[in-house]
Amino acid sequence: MTSEEPKKISKEELRQKLTPEQYDICVNKGTEMAFTGKYNNYKEPGIYRCVVCGNDLFSSNAKFDSGTGWPSFYAPLKKENIKEEIDDSYFMRRIEVNCDRCGSHLGHLFEDGPKPTGLRYCINSASLEHQAI
C-alpha cells in the first residue's frame, strides 16, 4: 500500500475496529508503557503497517534495538507515508510521527539513532500491524 490519499474513518468505526489501547494511542495520541508492546523485541522479517488503514510504514530491515522499550526504526519505508509534526505537549518539544494516509498517531522521532540516518522513529506497537514477507 501507499499513501495515495487521506483516508477518513469515523471515531465510531475506529472504536469498533481497534482495541481500547490502540484507540487511545492512534486517536488520542497516547503511548503504551515501555517494554510492553508486542513488537518491541520482535525480530521477524516483514513490513510494519498502520493498524488503522494498512499503509506501509516501516521495514524490519530498518528496525533496531534502541533499548528504550519501544520498537525503533532508523527510517520509514517511504518518507511520504508518514507525516511529522511539532509536538509541544508535556513541556517539551518533540516531533510527532503520524500515518500520512489516515492521520493516526504512531509515536515520535528523535535524533539519537544509528547510522545511516542518525534518526530513531520510536513507534508504539499498538499502532502497527506486522505483515510477514
Q: Which residues are catalytic?
A: 122
DSSP per residue over 44-86, as a string? --EEEEETTT--EEEEGGGEE--SSSS-EESS-SSGGGEEEEE
Beta carbons of 49 and 57 less than 8 angstroms apart: yes
Q: What is the chain's length?
A: 133
